[in-house]
Copies of this chain bind each other. A is one copy, B any other.
Amino acid sequence: MSEKREEWLKDLLRLVDEGDQKKTEKQAKILEAAVEIFSEKGYSATSTSEIAQKAGVAEGTIFRHYKTKKDLLLAIAGPIAVKLVAPFLLNDFVKVIDSPYDRPKDFFRAIAKDRIAFARSNIKLIKILFNEVPFQPELLEQVKNLMTNIVVKRIENALQHFQQQGFIVEAPPWRIMRSASSMLIGMIVFHVFLRPDFPFDEDEEIERTLDLLFYGIAGRSEENAEE
């Protein structure tokens, strides 16, 4: 089940790679400062002079590396969008169906742990991405592409695989996906973004949340009553 990589995806990946490598010292400082302030005040409310000051460079230097302020934003938000869905881009992601995750819980657990870790080390970048996606058509387009063509497709495949084996309830895959995603994303949003100080044992929390996802919140009375 080899997936043909489309052009736009290749371009994206190349962009990400390039961005990760060739960076002058000044460029790195500019990015660092921009991330900091963009995430604090939002893109539109951030001035390039503020970025320059925080980065310790002249304002003109910013525009030598990024033709416009928006270019600077996209240089930050574009790659993070790709990295956000990186696990699903892996060619061998599909192997999930053949073997590595015997059970759907293993599958969700793996994704959850990986993405929580990722979110934790990229809090500011993810904030920027989500704050700006509604207002930057290029970003929106890119995110839509990634989601529709990569993530949704692959998860759907996995779910159908699990359904065939009877591991997952019979229901439209998109609803299961939506519900499962919501629960995991909700967990991340709460523990990483809203209440990073709320004390909890991550592994334990993932386990208990998966329990709720898999077996529901109904108590014994409810179960007997309805089923």
Contact = CB atoms under 8 A, between A and B. Distances in A.
A3 to B, nearest CB: 24
Q: Which of A163, A187, A213 has the most CB of B within 10 A?
A: A213
Given A179-B183, A186-B185, A215 B213 contact: no
A101 B91 CA distance: 49
Nearest to A175: B208
A132 to B, nearest CB: 9
Interface string A37-72: 000011111000000000000000000000000000
A98 B227 CA distance: 25
Most buried by B among A41, A208, A221: A221
A165 interface: yes
Contacts of A134: 42, 127, 131
Interface size class of A (residues with CB under 8 A): 35 or more
Interface string A167-196: 111110001101111110111001000000
A42 B43 CA distance: 10
Contact of A213 (B42, B179, B205, B225): B179
Contacts of A162: 219
Nearest to A205: B175
A63 to B, nearest CB: 12
A216 B211 CA distance: 8
Contact of A221 (B166, B175, B180): B166
Interface string A196-222: 000000000100110011111111111
Q: Lowest 9 A-B CB distances belong to which pairs? A: A182-B186, A44-B44, A166-B221, A216-B216, A215-B216, A44-B45, A214-B218, A182-B182, A167-B222
